[in-house]
Amino acid sequence: MEEDTGALPRKENFSEWYNEILWRAEIMDVRYPVKGLYVWYPHGFGIRKRAYGILRDLMDRDHAETMFPLLIPKTEFMKEAEHIKGFEDEVYWVTHGGRNELDVPLALRPTSETAIYPMYSLWIRSHTDLPLKLYQVVNTFRYETKHTRPLIRLREITSFKEAHTVHATWEEAAAQVEVALGLYREFYDSLRVPVIVSRRPAWDKFPGADYTIAVDTVMPDGKTLQIGTVHMLGDHFSRTYAITYEDANGERQYAYQTCYGISERSIAAVISVHGDDKGVVLPPEVAPIEVVIVPIIVGKRRDEVLAAATVLEEEFRNAGFAVKLDAREMRPGAKYYHWEMRGVPLRVEVGPRDIDANTVVAVTRNGKKTTLDRRGVVEGVCSILAQFGEELSQTARQAMAGRITTASNLEEAAEVVKNGVAVVHWCGSQECAEKIEAAVDASIIGSEIRSDLIAVSDGPCIACGGNGTSALVARTY
Ligand SMILES: Nc1ncnc2c1ncn2[C@@H]1O[C@H](COS(=O)(=O)NC(=O)[C@@H](N)CS)[C@@H](O)[C@H]1O
Ligand SMILES: [Zn+2]
């Protein structure tokens, strides 16, 4: 890949910064010749791999992982009316196998309800088969007509984690929605990404769902990014796909379902929230390289320094760190620049002075320098990385808090949404939502807000003066 050249755009020019950092930090190559499809560089894929390893560990607590087919027959796809309406403009169709026209066109899954639920109908017979909680991590395809953007709005979603659960009652399904939100909070806590949870307005819920609860973060430009959604499907899909079970009294009942999804937007959030003017900044939890060792090679003591650096690398590797020794013939400063761009959380420098003093110098990606005793170096680095992770959480949380502002009328809200999220009182009516959205040129993205950064309250709707409660208004990706 091309080497680094020149300075990055400043992060305050977020859109340019974001586009440039994807190739400068070797995350994604956007030159693939199909719109909305992009290629993972190995470094970017390493971030995805660690992040989805955390996600799988969370899901594996009480879900089973599986994999359903990519191609969905039109007959199945077209069964759930609302679902179709929501996706008919986004579905890719396969119509030929070789030169033979297929008798039934096949959809590339935009999401997998219509692939999975006919099989659930075969699998679920009795209440003893419930609850059923499966998930898969697959690619899905959506013919997005809005502006596509790497990691944020793709036509091939390469890292679509979708969970689909089945329960005996509405209450159990509603409880699973809360379990899913807890998992998503834990996931984003691990990525040090602060989130706001809220209920999407009825017109924004997932097609075919009773309600949708979304997980949003606030991007550096003040726009929100939906980085996870949890849907209560009620019995809509079970009635359409005949997912029924025999209850304890031998009665046949329709099942109740949920589904919840996360995509590579989670990676976009890590890059966007934590990055700075020098490049990507990775939480240790998802860094493909946690520690890079840079030997300070000085003339005649070159071999001695390299030997010491190699021993150090071995020690970190045996302690379970993802460590890299950068022994390239290059000025140390150029190496610092290279690894800072790629977001490596910790650099360890070792040179002749360190060998004589039996120390090493540890420098975190956010610029903290510590001289460590060579003997306790592994423990020292452990606590430095833990501290670094906490600092990332705090910095990101404060940044998000700084972009959320209460607005008590339309004019104030119109100002706030230019570079942040407005918290307003809304009566909940669609009519007032349209008035508010037109007046402030932004969307009502949620109510029933759950965030320890936002004090929810009642008050007069800023459109009609009627009884309102706190709602989020923002521009969105
Ligand atoms: N075009 C896209 N590119 C990247 N991520 C996307 C795209 N469309 C949706 N997502 C992400 O995928 C998540 C789940 O998508 S969704 O439509 O809301 N929900 C579903 O598809 C349900 N079947 C849950 S699995 C969204 O919250 C969003 O974060
Ligand atoms: Zn109103």
Q: What is the pLDDT of residues 98-134, one digit of tens each?
A: 999 999 999 999 999 999 999 999 999 999 999 999 9
Give the span between the Cα atoms of 462 and 424, in whole angstroms: 7
d(CA 229, CA 216): 9
- Give the CB-side neighbour count of residue 235, counting CA atoms within 13 A: 13
Atom of ligand 1 nearest to the CA of 110: 21
Spatial separation of the C-alpha atoms in residues 361 and 296, rounded to whole Å: 11
pLDDT in tens, 240-257: 999 999 999 999 999 999
Q: Which atom of ligand 1 is nearest to the CA of 155?
A: 1
Other Cβ atoms closer than 10 A to 13: 13
pLDDT digits (tens, 9 = 90+) for 413-438: 999 999 999 999 999 999 999 999 99
Banded model confidence at residue 3, pLDDT cuts 50, 70, 90:
low
Angle CA 94–95–100, to nearest 5 = 130
CA–centroid distance, residue 261 to ligand 1 (Å): 6
- Give the percent of the chain with pLDDT over 70: 99
- The answer to whether 173 touches 237, Cβ cutoff 8 Å, is no
The preferred substitution site among 114, 149, 265 for testing ligand 1, maximizing ligand atoms within 8 Å of CB, is 265
Per-residue tokens: 349: 């420098």
Task: Indicate if ligand 1 lies below 6 Å from the C-beta of 229.
Answer: yes
| Nearest-angstrom CA–CA distance, 218 and 91 | 29
pLDDT higher than threshold 50 for residue 10: yes
Strands 421-426, 404-406: pairing kind: parallel
Q: At what angle do helices 42-59 and 170-190 cross, to 10 degrees?
A: 140
What confidence score (pLDDT) does residue 410 get? 98
Check: CB of residue 149 under 8 Å from CB of residue 27: no
Answer whether 111 contacts ligand 1 (Cβ < 6 A): yes
Instruction: Give the residue whose CA is nearest to atom 11 of ligand 1.
Output: 263
Going by C-alpha positions, the residue among 196, 237, 143 that lies closest to residue 404 is: 196
Residue 2 in this model has a pLDDT that exceeds 60: no
157 CB less than 6 Å from ligand 1? yes
Phi, psi of 153 (to 5 degrees): -140, 95
167-183: average pLDDT:
98
C-alpha 344 to ligand 1 mean position (Å) = 29
Q: What are 350-357's contacts with CB under 8 Å, separation 24+? A: 350/293, 350/294, 350/295, 350/296, 350/305, 350/308, 350/309, 350/312, 351/295, 351/296, 351/297, 351/298, 351/305, 352/296, 352/298, 352/301, 352/304, 352/305, 354/296, 354/308, 355/301, 355/304, 355/305, 355/308
Residue 446 Cα to ligand 2 middle (Å): 15
Q: Residue 350 phi/psi, 5° resolution?
A: -135, 125
Q: Which of the ligands is closest to the CA of residue 116?
A: 1
Q: What is the pLDDT of residues 258-310, one digit of tens each?
A: 999 999 999 999 999 999 999 999 999 999 999 999 999 888 999 999 999 99
**CA-to-CA distance for 11 and 276, rounded, in angstroms?**
6
pLDDT in tens, 43-95: 999 999 999 999 999 999 999 999 999 999 999 999 988 888 889 899 999 99
For residue 4, the model assigns a pLDDT of 58
**Contacts (Cβ under 8 Å, ≥6 apart) of 213:** 177, 181, 197, 198, 199, 200, 229, 230, 231, 232, 448
Does the pLDDT of residue 1 top 50, yes or no? no
Residue 466 Cα, ligand 2 centroid: separation in angstroms?
5
**379-386 average pLDDT score:** 98
Check pocket membership of 228 for ligand 1, CB cut-off 6 A. Answer: yes
Residue 211, ligand 1, Cβ within 6 A: no
For the packed helices 265-274 and 14-24, what is the interaxial angle rounded to 10 degrees?
Answer: 110
Nearest one of 336, 330, 329, 357 to 293, comparing CA atoms: 336
Average pLDDT, the chain: 97
* Residue pLDDT, tens place only, 128-169: 999 999 999 999 999 999 899 999 999 999 999 999 999 999
pLDDT for 313-363, tens place per residue? 999 999 999 999 999 999 999 999 999 999 999 999 999 999 999 999 999
Measured between alpha carbons, how far is 421 from 283 in angstroms, rounded to an integer?
25
For position 9, what pLDDT does the model report?
A: 95
Q: How far is Cα 206 from Cα 204, in angstroms, rounded to an integer?
A: 7
pLDDT class of 375 with cuts at 50, 70, 90: very high
Assign 3-class secondary structure to the chain.
CCCCCCCCCCCCCHHHHHHHHHHHCCCEECCCCCCCCCEECHHHHHHHHHHHHHHHHHHCCCCEECCCCCEEEHHHHCCCHHHHHHHCCCCCEEEEECCEEEEEEEEECCCCHHHHHHHHHHHCCEHHHCCEEEEEEEEEECCCCCCCECCCECCEEEEEEEEEEEECCHHHHHHHHHHHHHHHHHHHHHCCCCCEEEECCHHHCCCCCCEEEEEEEECCCCCEEEEEEEEEEECHHHHHHCCEEECCCCCEEECEEEEEEECCHHHHHHHHHHCECCECCCCHHHCCCCEEEEECCCHHHHHHHHHHHHHHHHHHHHCCCCEEECCCCCCHHHHHHHHHHCCCCEEEEECHHHHHHCEEEEEECCCCEEEEECCCHHHHHHHHHHHHHHHHHHHHHHHHHCCEEECCCHHHHHHHCCCCEEEEEECCCHHHHHHHHHHHCCEEEEEEEECCCCCCCEEECCCCCCEEEEEEEECEC
205-251 per-position pLDDT tens digit: 998 999 999 999 999 999 999 999 999 999 999 999 999 999 999 99
pLDDT at 80: 87
Q: Which atom of ligand 1 is nearest to the CA of 161?
A: 25
Q: Report the C-alpha gap between 307 and 171 in whole angstroms.
A: 63
